[in-house]
Chains A and B, each alone.
Chain A
Amino acid sequence: MLLTLVTFIPLIGGLALLFVPKGKDNIVRGIATAAAAVALIISLMVLLGYDKSIGGMQFIEQCCWIPSLNVTYFMGVDGLSIAMLVLTTLLSLISVIYSYNVTSRVKEYFFFFLLLETGMLGVFLALDFFLFYVFWEITLVPMYFLIGIWGGPRKEYAAIKFFLYTLFGSVIMLLGIIALYFTSAPHTFNMLELAKQAPLFTKLFQNVIYVALFIGFAIKVPVFPFHTWLPDAHVEAPTAVSVILAGVLLKMGTYGMLRVSYSILPQAVVYFALPLAVLAMINIVYGAYCAMAQKDLKKMIAYSSINHMGYVLLGMAAMTTAGLNGAIFQMFNHGIITGALFLLVGVIYDRAHTREIEGFGGLGSIMPVYTGIMTVAVFASLGLPGLSGFWSEFMCFLGAFQVQNTWMKIITGFSAIGIVVTAAYFLIMIQKVFLGPANEKWKGLSEINTRELISVVPLIIIMVVLGFLPRIVMELSSASVDSMLKALGTIKP
């Protein structure tokens, strides 16, 4: 029951707050916070009860849903999804708290927000492909409204661009899902059942389905050249929505690849490993250079997301223990770190109403606490040892370099350029914004306030703790990764 509860409690909260009378915005905020908090608590209970030594599914819930199609309501959690579950509930609660500063159309805002949370949790927990797809699409509509109503100056354009791009990807994925259904015997949407039938699928069929699903997932990640919706959506979205978008929504893409392609289409995964690595390299290097070229702070972090998701893809393309564990760890870390960065950008934007990197200067003396927090988050993002980001990036590269393939080693080598460029653009940003003589114009900026601290500090603590004890998260995925590699290892390229 826990998984169903955690998925639908946000939705119940969202429906409940629709009945709050007009004008009682604080009650709405309270209900939203309570729903998100309860979801976080339940997800922590799942985490406590989760047995790390088992590679298979746990907390399984299965019951019949649409018998005529052999669709079941099938939820479960394993090493691939447990970290995502906690990440989603944590970032959602933090974003809800941060969103207290939303003052227009509060009720609708939190309704869409909680609906979005239900959709995201469902994606990470569903083990039936039909159910997975339903949740996958449910995330689109609230996101469209969240960007379109509460976003920045070009919000309408960004919202519809996001919607059209991702819908395009997901309908192609739908064709792939239907084809998988009709090829399996007996016809099923059950992901575990499909994984068992994987050896029966021909190589050509696997490759075609892989491409169809990949388009859906790649647009979400986003993988170059499907990334152009991301900077627009990120820049226009309100702060808390950017956090969710970068922190959770992008992971749906890489999670989908791991959950679906890696288990159901193993031959195609092996076949496409090298092309995936090339795309990963482009994401890393191109994303980093694009980030360096940005003048807008938020846009820079948006591009850095493309760069950091590249590490995840590289680790996945490696198909080694270190690579896959690193990829999952990096998904978690990127959620925490980029979430924090977007919150921090939101803090400065709320005060200065600009995000021009060039326009700031010397903020370090005006807002010392803020500067300190921002610096930690930036260092975590560029992979400074002692903070969480280092471990996952290191493992992704290590895993990729372990592969006995010259091309793979060359690609990994080139990808390393990305790390250097990442360090460069973040340090340049720090220098321009926080160091140097204080700009007279910003003397009046107030220090980060309590609400903002409450939402950012937990993320900073996680970065530091995981920097010293990366084991806490890494242990979660290792058993599942091992069993996945065992299945992949039998396939000859």
Chain B
Amino acid sequence: MNTALLKDFIYLVPEIFVLCLGILILGFDLFIPERFRRRYIINLSVWGLLLSLVLLVYAPAKGLILGNMVSIDAYGVFFKGIIILSTVFALTMARYYAPIKDEVIGEFSALVVFAALGMMFMVSSSDLLMIFLSVEFVSIAFFVLTGYIKNDPKSAEGALKYFLIGAFSAGIFVYGMSLVITSTGTTNLKAMTEILRGPGAYSPLFICGFLLMLVGFGYKIAMVPFHSWAPEAYEGAPTPVTALLSTASKAAGFAVLLRVALAAVTGKGDLVMALAVLSALTMTAGNLMALQQNNVKRLLAYSGIAHSGYILMGVVAACSGTAPALGITSVLLYAFVYMLMNIGIFAVIIAFFNKTGSDDMQSYSGFSKSNPYLALVLVVFLVSLAGIPPTAGFIGKFYVFSAIIQAGQKFLWLAIIGIMNSVIALYYYFRIAYFVYFGEQKDERKVELSTGLAVIAGVTAVLVLLACIYPDPFISAAAGSVLNLW
């Protein structure tokens, strides 16, 4: 190994730090008595991750390192920020989530931290091989995490489904990748961009390969028709893992997809149109299926599919060639905003679950009478998910719609489908509000909100409102991360 390569590791300090943190947690787990584990191990991981967030902010941007395998850029840093924040939130939730027992909390935390590490590599990979390795790294961690409640058959079912579909899609993904590599002669995204500018680069082989790779990405971001694992995995998984799956994992998936799509299909009309069709399908199918759900976690799984469709609109705009900057900004912004509101609503759901042991929508009846303030916070998140101001969800929606309209008249139909979908979405989000506010009160007990959950719900609620009332820092952060791409 030459010294130049070695020097590059200085740019990976946050990743190396997270790796050490994971190993430290595993070691710690052996020595701490069981009754202290919950508190100490979670505290250690949370503060460690927060420290890595600081390292991340101050780590210098460099560009391509390690033989062009990894790209250290502001784009990656933005997504890493999303990943670490949602991991911190998810671990805090896990501390107050009863079904995860004290004796396993150590390995659970370590797995979560390793998953975060994998995702951090995912979002900065700039080479197909690196992408595949990191995607698999993350997937394996999540297979285990999803099935963590051993005595719950639903958890096992979810994990098995997630694993089987994951294994299949990974196979297809690799096959597609091999076709792409054969036709372009490179695994590197930067080199591929240049080769694809040449005449006749879009051979049928390449197009087949790219479409097969889309299956792999589609699985990761729960895009229709590769979404079928999501509802079962979301419902069965421990709720903190669901929160992580729906925010960090999805954001990481989008980061990779966008990087690859920008390199592979920018300005290639019919491939972009294929993405647009998938976007329309994803949001419509997700919303229509969400309409019939009675379990809040399943509903959020389907709504998450719909949101994937919205973010795909941003991807389409980014690759259309007419609105690249706005398109990328909208994806970044939406991923962040979606993380905030989803984490927030999962915190409320866990608090509710701890009291009632139910995720059923009907059991929320009369929630606002026993817990007026928590109900109001829940409504803030619902309003945000529905994309209505003054909440972060509106800013995100505004940006993806702006991007798709700037992309040109060719995609106007997609904007109209998106608009129709946001009306459908309102109906099922407010079905929850319906039970919370209009339902007959069944349970008079107050939900005891533990400090950690209160902090998460409070912080995310304030951020959700702030992101619309004073959105400039958020927008600037997202827009600034676009400029340094490549």
Contact of A141 with B427 in the complex, beta carbons under 8 Å:
no
Residues of B within 8 Å of A108, CB to CB, are 368, 372
Residues of B within 8 Å of A67, CB to CB, are 472
Smallest Cβ-Cβ distance to A182: which chain B residue = B406
Smallest Cβ-Cβ distance to B368: which chain A residue = A108
Residues of B within 8 Å of A149, CB to CB, are 437-438
Smallest Cβ-Cβ distance to B382: which chain A residue = A141
Residues of B within 8 Å of A69, CB to CB, are 475
A178 within 8 A of partner (CB): yes
Complex alpha-carbon distance, A175 and B402, angstroms: 8
Smallest Cβ-Cβ distance to A151: which chain B residue = B438
Residues of A within 8 Å of B398, CB to CB, are 174, 178
Complex alpha-carbon distance, A68 and B472, angstroms: 7
Residues of A within 8 Å of B394, CB to CB, are 134, 137
Residues of B within 8 Å of A145, CB to CB, are 433, 437
Contact of B423 with A175 in the complex, beta carbons under 8 Å:
no
Spot the interface stretch: A91-99, A165-173, A381-389, A459-467: A165-173
Residues of B within 8 Å of A138, CB to CB, are 389-390
Residues of A within 8 Å of B476, CB to CB, are 68
B471 within 8 A of partner (CB): yes
Contact of A178 with B434 in the complex, beta carbons under 8 Å:
no
A417 within 8 A of partner (CB): no
In angstroms, how far is the closest chain B Cβ from the Cβ of A165? 9
Contact of A167 with B388 in the complex, beta carbons under 8 Å:
yes
In angstroms, how far is the closest chain A Cβ from the Cβ of B391? 10
Residues of A within 8 Å of B406, CB to CB, are 182
A160-B437 contact in complex given A68-B472, A138-B390, C-beta closer than 8 Å: no
Smallest Cβ-Cβ distance to B423: which chain A residue = A168
Residues of B within 8 Å of A155, CB to CB, are 438
B422 within 8 A of partner (CB): yes
A179 within 8 A of partner (CB): yes
Residues of A within 8 Å of B475, CB to CB, are 66, 68-69
Query: What per-residue 1/0 map shows which CB atoms of A162-193 lie under 8 Å from chain B?
Result: 01100110011011001101100000000000
Complex alpha-carbon distance, A469 and B55, angstroms: 71
Contact of B479 with A141 in the complex, beta carbons under 8 Å:
no
A163-B426 contact in complex given A108-B372, A148-B438, C-beta closer than 8 Å: yes
Residues of B within 8 Å of A140, CB to CB, are 388
Contact of A68 with B434 in the complex, beta carbons under 8 Å:
no
B416 within 8 A of partner (CB): yes
Smallest Cβ-Cβ distance to B409: which chain A residue = A179
Residues of A within 8 Å of B402, CB to CB, are 178, 181-182
Contact of B430 with A137 in the complex, beta carbons under 8 Å:
no
Contact of B430 with A144 in the complex, beta carbons under 8 Å:
yes
A178-B388 contact in complex given A148-B438, A163-B430, A167-B423, C-beta closer than 8 Å: no
Complex alpha-carbon distance, A254 and B172, angstroms: 56
In angstroms, how far is the closest chain A Cβ from the Cβ of B3? 42
Within 8 A of B (CB), among A129-144: 133-134, 137-138, 140-141, 144
Complex alpha-carbon distance, A425 and B238, angstroms: 63
Residues of A within 8 Å of B383, CB to CB, are 141
Complex alpha-carbon distance, A179 and B419, angstroms: 14
Contact of A160 with B434 in the complex, beta carbons under 8 Å:
yes
Complex alpha-carbon distance, A78 and B372, angstroms: 40
Contact of A133 with B389 in the complex, beta carbons under 8 Å:
yes
B405 within 8 A of partner (CB): yes
Within 8 A of B (CB), among A210-261: none
A156 within 8 A of partner (CB): yes
Query: What per-residue 1/0 map shows which CB atoms of B377-409 lie under 8 Å from chain A?
Result: 001000100001110001000100110011000
Contact of B426 with A167 in the complex, beta carbons under 8 Å:
yes
Complex alpha-carbon distance, A228 and B419, angstroms: 21
Q: Which of B389, B426, B427 contacts A134 (CB 8 A)?
A: B389
Contact of B388 with A137 in the complex, beta carbons under 8 Å:
yes
Contact of B401 with A137 in the complex, beta carbons under 8 Å:
no
Contact of B419 with A171 in the complex, beta carbons under 8 Å:
yes
Residues of A within 8 Å of B401, CB to CB, are 174-175, 178
Instruction: Place the interface of chain B in its size category.
Output: 20 to 34
Contact of B388 with A141 in the complex, beta carbons under 8 Å:
yes
Q: Which of B372, B426, B468 contacts A164 (CB 8 A)?
A: B426
Complex alpha-carbon distance, A65 and B395, angstroms: 13
Residues of A within 8 Å of B388, CB to CB, are 137, 140-141, 167
B84 within 8 A of partner (CB): no
Smallest Cβ-Cβ distance to B471: which chain A residue = A66
Smallest Cβ-Cβ distance to A169: which chain B residue = B423
Complex alpha-carbon distance, A137 and B390, angstroms: 8
Complex alpha-carbon distance, A156 and B438, angstroms: 8
Smallest Cβ-Cβ distance to A144: which chain B residue = B430
Residues of B within 8 Å of A163, CB to CB, are 426, 430
Query: What per-residue 1/0 map shows which CB atoms of B232-254 lie under 8 Å from chain A?
Result: 00000000000000000000000
Smallest Cβ-Cβ distance to A174: which chain B residue = B401
Smallest Cβ-Cβ distance to A131: which chain B residue = B389
Complex alpha-carbon distance, A149 and B437, angstroms: 7
Query: What per-residue 1/0 map shows which CB atoms of B462-482 lie under 8 Å from chain A?
Result: 000000100110011001000
B415 within 8 A of partner (CB): yes
In angstroms, how far is the closest chain B Cβ from the Cβ of A152? 13
In angstroms, how far is the closest chain B Cβ from the Cβ of A93? 24
Q: Which of B419, B433, B468 contacts A174 (CB 8 A)?
A: B419
Residues of A within 8 Å of B434, CB to CB, are 148, 156, 160
Complex alpha-carbon distance, A134 and B392, angstroms: 12
Q: Which of A68, A134, A160, A174 contacts B430 (CB 8 A)?
A: A160
Complex alpha-carbon distance, A141 and B393, angstroms: 14
Residues of A within 8 Å of B433, CB to CB, are 144-145
Residues of A within 8 Å of B430, CB to CB, are 144, 160, 163
Contact of A66 with B423 in the complex, beta carbons under 8 Å:
no
Smallest Cβ-Cβ distance to A68: which chain B residue = B475
Query: What per-residue 1/0 map shows which CB atoms of A66-85 lie under 8 Å from chain B?
Result: 11110000000000000000
Contact of A182 with B405 in the complex, beta carbons under 8 Å:
yes
In angstroms, how far is the closest chain B Cβ from the Cβ of A122? 10
Smallest Cβ-Cβ distance to A141: which chain B residue = B383
Residues of B within 8 Å of A164, CB to CB, are 423, 426-427
Complex alpha-carbon distance, A175 and B434, angstroms: 28
In angstroms, how far is the closest chain B Cβ from the Cβ of A183? 10
Smallest Cβ-Cβ distance to B369: which chain A residue = A105
Contact of B389 with A137 in the complex, beta carbons under 8 Å:
yes
In angstroms, how far is the closest chain A Cβ from the Cβ of B225? 26
Smallest Cβ-Cβ distance to A145: which chain B residue = B437
A175-B472 contact in complex given A137-B394, A163-B426, C-beta closer than 8 Å: no
Complex alpha-carbon distance, A144 and B427, angstroms: 12
Kindly name the residue among A67, A107, A137 whose own CB sees the greatest number of chain B CB atoms within 10 A: A137
Smallest Cβ-Cβ distance to A107: which chain B residue = B372
In angstroms, how far is the closest chain A Cβ from the Cβ of B190? 28
In angstroms, how far is the closest chain B Cβ from the Cβ of A472? 36
Residues of A within 8 Å of B472, CB to CB, are 65-68
Complex alpha-carbon distance, A67 and B476, angstroms: 9
Contact of A179 with B405 in the complex, beta carbons under 8 Å:
yes
Complex alpha-carbon distance, A137 and B419, angstroms: 15
- Name 27 A/B residue pairs within 8 A (Cβ), A-sorted: A67-B472, A69-B475, A107-B372, A108-B368, A108-B372, A133-B389, A134-B389, A134-B390, A137-B389, A137-B394, A138-B390, A140-B388, A141-B379, A141-B388, A144-B430, A145-B433, A149-B438, A163-B430, A164-B423, A164-B426, A164-B427, A171-B423, A172-B419, A174-B398, A174-B401, A174-B419, A175-B405
Counting from the closest, the 10 A-B pairs by CB-CB distance are: A134-B389, A171-B419, A137-B389, A168-B423, A68-B475, A178-B405, A137-B388, A178-B402, A66-B472, A148-B438
Known A-B contacts: A105-B369, A141-B379, A178-B401. Give 18 more (CB < 8 A).
A18-B373, A66-B471, A108-B372, A138-B389, A140-B388, A141-B388, A144-B430, A160-B434, A163-B426, A163-B430, A164-B426, A167-B388, A167-B426, A168-B423, A175-B405, A175-B416, A178-B398, A182-B402
